Structure 1
Amino acid sequence: MRKKLAIALMSIAILAGCSNGTATEESAGNETTTVQGSTASYTESAANAATDLTMADLAEFDDEDTNADWSADGATTISLNGSGATISGSGATEADGSVTITAAGTYILSGTLEDGQIVVEAGKEDLVRLVLNGVDLTDADNAPIYVKSADKTVITLAAGTTNTVTDGSEYVLEADADEPSAAIFSKDDLSINGSGSLTVNANYNDGITSKDDLLIASGTITVTAADDGIVGRDLLAVQEASITIEAVGDGMKSTNDEDADKGVVAIASGTFTINAGADGIQAETTLLIDGGTFDVTTGGGSANAEVKTEQGPGGMGMGQGFGGGQGGQGFTGERPEGTTGEPPEGMGERPDGQTMPQGTDGQAMSEAATDTADSQDAGTDESTSAKSLKAGVNLIVNDGTITIDSKDDAIHSNGSATVNGGEITIKAGDDAAHADGTLTIAGGKLDIQSSYEGLEGTAIVVSGGEIDVTASDDGVNASGTDPLLTISGGYLTVNASGDGLDSNGSIAMTGGTVIVNGPTNDGNGPLDYDGTFELSGGVLIAAGSSGMAQSTSDDSSQASIIMTFSAAQEAGTLVHLEDSQGNTIATFAPAKSYSSIVISSPDLKQGESYTLYSGGTSGGTATDGLYADGTYSGGTKVVEFTLESVATWINESGVTTANSGFGMGGGMGGGMGGGGRGDRQQADQSQQTEQQTAQ
């Protein structure tokens, strides 16, 4: 198991460092797509080495971890009487109100200890079982349960019993000692099982801590902690338990940041209600969720997040053309034949002479700063992080019902993050799902009800699942080094105030369904990419503003059209596209006002004629604004045209040229000269005017 995990982590590191600099091939399902002119280097086979982990690969529950049966025969009974204890059997002694256990065996505890400890100080090969058979343990200045030494200590919560452990707000420790640091504290392996309940009131620091492995097989556990709730240094593994945590710091965590195969949190099943001031569930290396029901709130929830706005001059997206944008000055909007993606000499310079990086704009620069802060987060004080599910290297969700209300990112990995299944509902103050490396959505259902950005990663792979994104900025954002967005399957809907689909590199789509309700301001676009958007399969509908509108790339193998309207259309106004035989290609009702729409379907054929209508009604059934079946009627014919190229631009007059501003790859309307800065300022002013009018 350790070897497989180590190999997986190594694969992530290799993946993060790959770059071929020219063209790439991405495996999407059984297909391979070559993306020209991109420096991205994602390969699905490499990612799979890190995404196919299950509970069995990370944690093993032995018989002593899960077996909650016990008998008084041959056991030592410890009857607590307030100030001391009566002991029947061997292996334990009482002195000064505390009980010390020095040998392997089963110890049955009952009664109340008003100010004292249960100390386990057995041999390094000894297995010690503590049966909590209705106890109330309190220690005013130390850990009520303190395992100093043993091979493993198992705490069994006797059926039908209620057990309480409470410490004080200050500990009296030996000179230069920093432990114990939790109400239940173990220096060696610790396991908890049984069908009884355990309440931990941790007034000093953490609730339950093991400096080695902590395995929770069953039981009903409630922890209130002055800092972290439940901590396993090397491994925290849970199955079948019911856990409720109220923590000022992190809810559940692992802390070993020195060993690549440790610092793991693995959850097979159970019920978890976590309200944490900092991170909800955090692993230094791998966080795995195989199943369970989760309700996680961090930092007071998304309503408590800082308000974020786009920053920077903007308008310098590099793509297939250099465009001044609407109102731009000094640029033709077309790239001279044979030129590369580099801007003309002298363009894009700041007043201080510093050259802005190729393919960036003010938004990207702001995102880069945010990404840097995220990647540095693992080593900072936890008060700066209030993420719900967080991993230092690899995060995998295979199944489960997960509800998140997060002040910061909901799902976050400093390496890779993968959702293979489950039902996840998210309200996030920052990103709904973020990975510094590869973010993969292969299955499951993600309902992102609110976020700053929906999906963010260097490489984003959508190969399955149902994803519904609502974002106050970008819906899907591939950024960082060698960014690439790959869509090969699944069903993705985006409602974004910023860019709908955004890649600072390229986009490749080979299958699936994507519906974008993009921005209403011209400072962003439904689609935004700096390299290419090669489309060879699937259904794409993307509506929104037109100031920075882009279509797919000319070297796509599946055709698309982009319609730009001379005036904004009201939200809900149908767009209907049909072929010359009257067959429906698409009928769509955008959720917001729009002045451009991209439609791509396998039914579009280059060289054939089509008619686009506006308004009217459909007798079909709408899902996310896209109508299936039914008869369309009552609309106004806007334009009839022939699909001349694989990416055809049209307006009310017919086929037209690509957007001479920010279209066709974003253009370069920017730097501090020309139209880019002015366009962004104008868009920002327009957006502010819209907001003031709405208010």
Structure 2
Amino acid sequence: MKKNKFREMLGVLLICSVVLSACSTSSQASTTTTSAVTTSATTAAASSQSSDTTAAALPASVAVSDVVTFDEAEKAVAWSAETSTTIKLNGTSAAVTGSGAKASGGSVTISAAGTYVLSGTLSDGQVVVDVQDDGDVHLVLNGAAIHDNDSAGIYIKEAGNVVITLQEGTENTISDGETYVFADAATDEPSAAIFSKADLAINGTGKLTVVASYNDGITSKDDLKIVSGTIDITAADDGIVGKDMVAITDGTVTIKAEGDGIKSTNATNEGRGFVAIADGIFTIEAGNDGIQAETALIVDGGTFNLVTGGGSVNGEVKQEEGPGGMQRGGMNATSATGTSTDAAATAATATESTSAKGLKAGGDLTVNGGTFAIDSADDALHSNSNVTVTVGELEMASGDDGIHADALTTIAGGSINITKSYEGIEGAIITISGGETHVVASDDGINVAGGSDETSGAAGGRADQFSAASSNLLTISGGYVTVDAAGDGLDSNGSITMTGGTVIVNGPTGNGNGSLDYDGSFDISGGTLVAAGSSGMLQATADDSSQSTIAMTFSQAQQAGALVHLQDSDGNTIMTFAPSKNYQSIVISSPELAQGGSYTLYTGGSSTGSDADGMYTDGAYTGGTKVTDFEISSSVTWLNESGVTTASSGGGFGGGGGGGGRPQGGGR
């Protein structure tokens, strides 16, 4: 069968991407199992792992056009009556006018290459394509309704390439029964209402409705491409399946599936098993994953409305872990529903085969554009390798992680709004260089290498795995980030580096977590940082950072919305900020803070400036209460209401490499 050059290209791109990401950590990188070549490349790269990951770990962006092309035959919709064979369906029989096809009762068999135009209704029958010389077949659905009680409505048994055209202005329906009859016990194909053992493409401007009562809606055991058309699928299991790949350039696709919405399944052959979407409108309600690729998943554009597993409301109830992974409250702690954790673990085991993620990739997941509304019971975006977002508008509510990558999570642009999650953004390495990102999390907001989340065993059959390594790193070089976390705000089981951008953290109110939590160091040399939260686990930035930081601890919790105002000795505003939750500490770092400078900290009062996420710009600050005057003489200045103090007497655990903070690995 004819194959496109994209497979060779994809293999090269997968190797390059994996080699770049392998310098994250040796353990999680080596778990990528998308193909033999990917695994071997990962293992080889991991053996030469380097701790210098700030730039080398960034993967090159991959676009749909880099890995797949649509040829003219796949896009062609034109046909003529003079050169086509007409198949008129009539109840339980069919009439064939022309060559290459024969009708016998309710069955139509196409045995030669050519164009075949189908119209009418077949109430219990099947159209079979069986072209032994691997010729190309063009099926035109010109107002056709085909139903088979015990098999696929369209069964492409043998051909080179098959193109199905949805004729302009027509509505077409393919459906099947709840049970299939096979030739013998060893046969399990066909298994979809439209089933192809050849490369299959769908185009045209008409409508196709698929009702798959037995199993899948549309399945190709080779390549499946959708060029255009309106496709509406209801499936007992998966909606659209392409073993080697699913590629979509445009169209309107609506899927209601008990299993996965769109998926590609080949995990063993190099350069296959991926999903590539250039554009289109997608409405998917799936019992399992919305869009799932066994290897790479690439989205360049489109509009996506995805609901998986019944939505985030069906996310598993989790209990925050304490130091060393121990559940807070002891071994016999109860969940929010009153169920013992042992019982909850048993329930989790019983359901661990279910994966209900929005976008899921066994290899790299790349979003280069598009508008997304994702409501998922499991992770909204998930990769067993790397996640990259370069452009796009993503609104996500998740019952687990908003964005999860076993290796590298990269946010280079776009608008990301995670309105609900257990942990917001997770990866062994996380780099943020652009875009606007908002995170709401019931546990940690941004989490580097946060241990093993056993509830995600459904994500490809294993739990998220991270190792404690010096290369675990959160790097922020640009962009705008806000975090609202009940657990740790920024949490790195490694280090944090910040060179630019704006980061606003509204952290925990309980003293068992901190707005900042890291095990290595937090080096800041640029950007604006403000992190408010509890004081029990307080950390600031590293003592040897080139940009100055203040860390203020209050003797009593301050009320949500109460302003914190910092100004220099000339009355110039450094920052005016209103935390969204009660807080007892605040960490501020700004390029406008300078060693040798004198400053005053106020609380309360009001500002006439413009408010964005609690940060006030311009305007005038008045009516506040002075807390303390102080001078900056070192990189980190620790404050309480009496003025400059030390980290320990200030009521915090201190910064400077995490000294005195929570035990190693205590963050999740």
TM, length-normalised to structure 2: 0.86
Work out the CA distance in 1 between the residues paired with 2:546 and 2:161: 61
Work out the CA distance in 1 between the residues paired with 2:577 and 2:133: 68
Residue identity in the other structure for 1:602: P
Deviations 1:255-276 (CA, angstroms, capped at 9, x unpaired): 0000231101000000000000
- Residue 569 of structure 1 corresponds to which residue in structure 2? 558
Residue 112 in 1 paired to residue 117 in 2? Answer: no
Work out the CA distance in 1 between the residues paired with 2:261 and 2:24: 37
Q: Give the secondary-structure state (helix, strand or coil) at the position aligned to 1:133.
A: strand
- Residue 133 of structure 1 corresponds to which residue in structure 2? 142
- Residue 276 of structure 1 corresponds to which residue in structure 2? 286
Residue 5 in 1 paired to residue 14 in 2? Answer: no
Residue 42 in 1 paired to residue 53 in 2? Answer: yes
1:453 to 389, 407, 423: 423
- Residue 633 of structure 2 corresponds to which residue in structure 1? 644
Q: How does 1:334-353 map to 2 (within 5 A)?
A: none
Work out the CA distance in 1 between the residues paired with 2:132 and 2:83: 19
Q: Shift of residue 382 of structure 1?
A: 8.6
Q: Give the secondary-structure state (helix, strand or coil) at the position aligned to 1:47.
A: coil
Residue 659 in 1 paired to residue 629 in 2? Answer: no
Q: How does 1:152-167 map to 2 (within 5 A)?
A: 152-167=161-176
Work out the CA distance in 2 between the residues paired with 1:75 and 1:20: 58
Q: Give the secondary-structure state (helix, strand or coil) at the position aligned to 1:634.
A: strand
Q: Shift of residue 4 of structure 1?
A: 3.5
Work out the CA distance in 1 between the residues paired with 2:12 and 2:325: 43
Work out the CA distance in 2 between the residues paired with 1:554 and 1:228: 54
1:410 to 363, 376, 380: 380
User: Residues 126 and 151 of structure 1 are in contact (CA less than 8 Å); yes or no, is this contact kept in structure 2?
Assistant: yes
Work out the CA distance in 1 between the residues paired with 2:563 and 2:270: 54
* Residues 39/452 of structure 1: CA separation in 2 closer, same or farther (3 Å cut): farther
Work out the CA distance in 2 between the residues paired with 1:382 and 1:590: 38
- Residue 548 of structure 1 corresponds to which residue in structure 2? 537
Deviations 1:365-385 (CA, angstroms, capped at 9, x unpaired): xxxxxxxx9xxx9xx999421
- Residue 330 of structure 1 corresponds to which residue in structure 2? none
Q: Shift of residue 239 of structure 1?
A: 1.6
* Residues 124/502 of structure 1: CA separation in 2 closer, same or farther (3 Å cut): farther
1:425 to 392, 395, 399: 395
Moved more, 55-64 or 662-671: 662-671
1:180 to 190, 198, 215: 190
2:222 to 212, 218, 223: 212
* Residues 669/443 of structure 1: CA separation in 2 closer, same or farther (3 Å cut): closer
Work out the CA distance in 1 between the residues paired with 2:269 and 2:324: 42
Moved more, 200-209 or 166-175: 166-175
Q: Shift of residue 508 of structure 1?
A: 0.3
Task: Choose between structure 1 and 2 for higher RCO, CA contacts under 8 A separated by at least 6 residues.
Answer: 1
Work out the CA distance in 2 between the residues paired with 1:40 and 1:450: 33
2:132 to 117, 123, 144: 123
User: Residues 395 and 418 of structure 2 are in contact (CA less than 8 Å); yes or no, is this contact kept in structure 1?
Assistant: yes
Work out the CA distance in 1 between the residues paired with 2:435 and 2:104: 60
- Residue 612 of structure 1 corresponds to which residue in structure 2? 601
Deviations 1:573-623 (CA, angstroms, capped at 9, x unpaired): 000000111110000000000010011110000111100000001110010
User: Residues 456 and 476 of structure 1 are in contact (CA less than 8 Å); yes or no, is this contact kept in structure 2?
Assistant: yes
Q: Give the secondary-structure state (helix, strand or coil) at the position aligned to 2:12.
A: helix
Q: Give the secondary-structure state (helix, strand or coil) at the position aligned to 2:241.
A: strand
Residue identity in the other structure for 2:602: Y
Q: Shift of residue 57 of structure 1?
A: 1.1
Residue identity in the other structure for 1:542: A
Work out the CA distance in 2 between the residues paired with 1:434 and 1:42: 19
- Residue 435 of structure 2 corresponds to which residue in structure 1? 465
- Residue 499 of structure 1 corresponds to which residue in structure 2? 488
Residue 253 in 1 paired to residue 263 in 2? Answer: yes
Residue identity in the other structure for 2:68: A
Q: Give the secondary-structure state (helix, strand or coil) at the position aligned to 1:215.
A: strand
Q: Give the secondary-structure state (helix, strand or coil) at the position aligned to 1:384.
A: coil
Residue identity in the other structure for 1:485: L
Q: Give the secondary-structure state (helix, strand or coil) at the position aligned to 1:508.
A: strand
User: Residues 537 and 661 of structure 2 are in contact (CA less than 8 Å); yes or no, is this contact kept in structure 1?
Assistant: no
Residue 234 in 1 paired to residue 225 in 2? Answer: no
* C-alpha RMSD of the superposition: 2.5
* Residues 407/645 of structure 1: CA separation in 2 closer, same or farther (3 Å cut): same
User: Residues 156 and 196 of structure 2 are in contact (CA less than 8 Å); yes or no, is this contact kept in structure 1?
Assistant: yes
User: Residues 111 and 131 of structure 2 are in contact (CA less than 8 Å); yes or no, is this contact kept in structure 1?
Assistant: yes
Q: Shift of residue 7 of structure 1?
A: 2.6
Work out the CA distance in 2 between the residues paired with 1:617 and 1:645: 30
User: Residues 245 and 273 of structure 2 are in contact (CA less than 8 Å); yes or no, is this contact kept in structure 1?
Assistant: yes
* Residues 486/313 of structure 1: CA separation in 2 closer, same or farther (3 Å cut): closer
- Residue 574 of structure 2 corresponds to which residue in structure 1? 585
User: Residues 243 and 273 of structure 2 are in contact (CA less than 8 Å); yes or no, is this contact kept in structure 1?
Assistant: yes
- Residue 324 of structure 1 corresponds to which residue in structure 2? none
Work out the CA distance in 2 between the residues paired with 1:394 and 1:382: 23
User: Residues 9 and 260 of structure 1 are in contact (CA less than 8 Å); yes or no, is this contact kept in structure 2?
Assistant: no
- Residue 267 of structure 1 corresponds to which residue in structure 2? 277
Q: Give the secondary-structure state (helix, strand or coil) at the position aligned to 1:126.
A: coil
Deviations 1:395-447 (CA, angstroms, capped at 9, x unpaired): 00000000000000000000000000110000000000000000000000001
- Residue 686 of structure 1 corresponds to which residue in structure 2? none
Deviations 1:48-103 (CA, angstroms, capped at 9, x unpaired): 23xx1111112111111112222212100000011111100000001131000011
Deviations 1:107-164 (CA, angstroms, capped at 9, x unpaired): 0000111111100001343110110001110001110100011111100001111100
Residue 289 in 1 paired to residue 299 in 2? Answer: yes
* Residues 551/616 of structure 1: CA separation in 2 closer, same or farther (3 Å cut): same
Q: Give the secondary-structure state (helix, strand or coil) at the position aligned to 1:250.
A: coil
Identity of aligned residues (%): 61
Work out the CA distance in 2 between the residues paired with 1:667 and 1:43: 23
Q: Shift of residue 16 of structure 1?
A: 4.6
* Residues 214/124 of structure 1: CA separation in 2 closer, same or farther (3 Å cut): farther
Q: Give the secondary-structure state (helix, strand or coil) at the position aligned to 2:430.
A: strand
Residue 629 in 1 paired to residue 640 in 2? Answer: no
Residue identity in the other structure for 1:18: C
- Residue 43 of structure 2 corresponds to which residue in structure 1? none
Q: Can you give the 5+ residue segments of structure 1 that lack an aligned partner in the other structure?
A: 22-37, 317-349, 352-372, 681-695
Deviations 1:165-191 (CA, angstroms, capped at 9, x unpaired): 110111111220121110000001000
Work out the CA distance in 2 between the residues paired with 1:142 and 1:505: 55
Moved more, 658-667 or 525-534: 658-667
Residue identity in the other structure for 2:11: A
Moved more, 65-74 or 180-189: 65-74
Work out the CA distance in 2 between the residues paired with 1:62 and 1:7: 22
Q: Shift of residue 555 of structure 1?
A: 1.3
Residue identity in the other structure for 1:413: S
Q: Shift of residue 568 of structure 1?
A: 0.4
Residue identity in the other structure for 2:386: S
* Residues 559/514 of structure 1: CA separation in 2 closer, same or farther (3 Å cut): same
Work out the CA distance in 1 between the residues paired with 2:662 and 2:418: 33
Q: Shift of residue 467 of structure 1?
A: 0.3
